[in-house]
Amino acid sequence: MKILIIGSGGREHALAWKITQSPLVSKIYCAPGNPGMAALGECFDLSVNDIPGVVAFAKDNDIALTVVGPEDPLANGMVDALTEAGLKAFGPTKAAAQLEASKGFAKDFMARHGIPTAAYGEFSDAESAIAYVREQGAPIVVKADGLAAGKGVTVAQTVAEAEAAIQEIMVEQVFGDAGAKLIVEAFLEGEEASIFALSDGENYRILASSQDHKAAYDGDTGPNTGGMGAYSPAPVVTDEIMAQIEEQVIRPCIEGMAKDGAPYTGVLYAGLMIGPAGCRVVEFNCRFGDPETQVVLPRMKSDLVPLLLSCSDGTLDAQDIEWNDGACVAVVMASGGYPKAYEKGIPITGIVDAESDDCIVVFHAGTKQDGDQILTNGGRVLNVTGFADSIQGSIDKAYEGVEKISFNGAHYRTDIGQKAFHHLT
Ligand code: AMP
Ligand code: GLY
Residue 285 near ligand 2, beta carbon < 6 Å: yes
From residue 50, give the alpha-carbon distance in Å to each of 142, 246, 367.
32, 35, 21
Q: pLDDT grade, residue 425 (50/70/90)?
A: low
Does residue 240 have a pLDDT over 70? yes
Percent of the chain whose pLDDT exceeds 70: 100
For residue 56, give every residue at least 6 positions away whose Cβ sits within 8 Å of its Cβ, in sequence order, or none. Answer: none
CA 373 to chain centre: 28
Number of helices and strands (H, E) in the chain?
A: 15, 23
What CATH fold (topology level) applies to the domain 120-186? Dna Ligase; domain 1 (3.30.1490)
Per-residue pLDDT tens digits for 67-122: 999 999 999 999 999 999 999 999 999 999 999 999 899 999 999 999 999 999 99
Cα 384 to ligand 2 centre (Å): 17
Taking CA atoms only, the protein residue closest to ligand 1 atom 11 is 282
Q: pLDDT grade, residue 276 (50/70/90)?
A: confident
Listed in order, strand segments (DSSP E) in 171-224 are 182-186, 191-200, 204-206, 211-212, 215-217, 221-224
Residue 192 near ligand 2, beta carbon < 6 Å: no
Q: pLDDT grade, residue 324 (50/70/90)?
A: very high
In contact, 116 and 122? CB cutoff 8 Å:
no
Atom of ligand 1 nearest to the CA of 150: 2
From residue 242, give the alpha-carbon distance in Å to each of 99, 111, 312.
21, 21, 25
Atom of ligand 2 nearest to the CA of 290: 4
Residue 248's pLDDT is what?
A: 98
Pick from 129-133, 149-153, 155-159, 280-284: least confident: 149-153
Taking CA atoms only, the protein residue closest to ligand 2 atom 3 is 289
Cα 282 to ligand 1 centre (Å): 6
Pick from 70-84, 135-149, 286-300, 386-400: least confident: 135-149
Ligand 1 site residues (CB inside 6 A) read 118, 141, 143, 150, 153, 155, 185, 187-188, 192, 214, 271, 282-283
Atom of ligand 1 nearest to the CA of 282: 16
Q: In CATH, what is the architecture of 2-94?
A: 3-Layer(aba) Sandwich (3.40)
Q: For residue 85, report the phi and psi dihedrals to the nearest 5 degrees.
A: -85, 5
Question: Best of 232, 282, 288, 292 to mutate for ligand 2, by most ligand atoms within 8 A of CB?
Answer: 292
Q: pLDDT grade, residue 47 (50/70/90)?
A: very high
Cα 289 to ligand 1 centre (Å): 14
- How many Å apart are CA 268 and CA 210, to the nearest integer? 14
Of the options 3.90.600.10, 3.30.70.20, 3.20.20.20, 3.90.950.10, the CATH number for the domain spanning 327-419: 3.90.600.10
Residue 151's pLDDT is what?
A: 75
Cα 153 to ligand 1 centre (Å): 7
Atom of ligand 2 nearest to the CA of 289: 4
Taking CA atoms only, the protein residue closest to ligand 2 atom 5 is 289
In contact, 352 and 252? CB cutoff 8 Å:
no
Give which of 104, 103, 49, 98 is closest to 72, Cα–Cα: 49
Residue 12, SS3?
helix
Taking CA atoms only, the protein residue closest to ligand 2 atom 4 is 289
> Average per-residue pLDDT in the chain?
95
For residue 116, give every residue at least 6 positions away whose Cβ sits within 8 Å of its Cβ, in sequence order, or none. Answer: 110, 248, 249, 278, 279, 280, 281
Residue 377 near ligand 2, beta carbon < 6 Å: no
Checking 78-84 for CB contacts under 8 A at 24+ apart, the result is: 78/6, 78/51, 78/54, 79/265, 79/266, 81/51, 81/52, 81/54, 81/55, 82/54, 82/55, 82/58
- How many Å apart are CA 226 and CA 37, to the nearest integer? 21
Domain boundaries along the sequence of the chain: 2-94, 120-186, 190-318, 327-419
Strand duo 27-32 + 42-43: pairing: parallel
Max distance between CA atoms of the chain, in angstroms, equals 60
Does residue 150 have a pLDDT over 80? no
> What's the N-to-C CA distance of the chain in angstroms?
46
Query: 149 vs 109, which has greater pLDDT?
Result: 109
Cα 286 to ligand 1 centre (Å): 16
For residue 424, give every residue at least 6 positions away whose Cβ sits within 8 Å of its Cβ, in sequence order, or none. Answer: 235, 391
Is 3.90.25.10 the CATH classification of the domain at 190-318? no
Atom of ligand 2 nearest to the CA of 291: 1
In contact, 295 and 385? CB cutoff 8 Å:
yes
Q: pLDDT grade, residue 178 (50/70/90)?
A: confident
- How many Å apart are CA 205 and CA 196, to the nearest integer? 9
pTM of the model: 0.95
Q: pLDDT grade, residue 32 (50/70/90)?
A: very high
- How many Å apart are CA 1 and CA 161, to the nearest integer? 53
For residue 425, give every residue at least 6 positions away whose Cβ sits within 8 Å of its Cβ, in sequence order, or none. Answer: none
Residue 289 near ligand 2, beta carbon < 6 Å: yes
CATH fold match for the domains 2-94 and 327-419: no
Atom of ligand 2 nearest to the CA of 230: 1
Q: What is the DSSP letter of 204?
A: E
Does residue 167 have a pLDDT over 70? yes
H helices present in 33-93, as ranges: 35-38, 51-60, 71-75, 78-84
Atom of ligand 1 nearest to the CA of 224: 7
For residue 279, give every residue at least 6 positions away whose Cβ sits within 8 Å of its Cβ, in sequence order, or none. Answer: 116, 241, 244, 245, 248, 249, 272, 273
Residue 283 near ligand 2, beta carbon < 6 Å: no
Give which of 389, 387, 382 is closest to 366, Cα–Cα: 382
Does residue 378 have a pLDDT over 70? yes
**How much of the chain is helix, strand and coil, in % rounded to 5?**
35, 30, 35
Atom of ligand 1 nearest to the CA of 285: 4
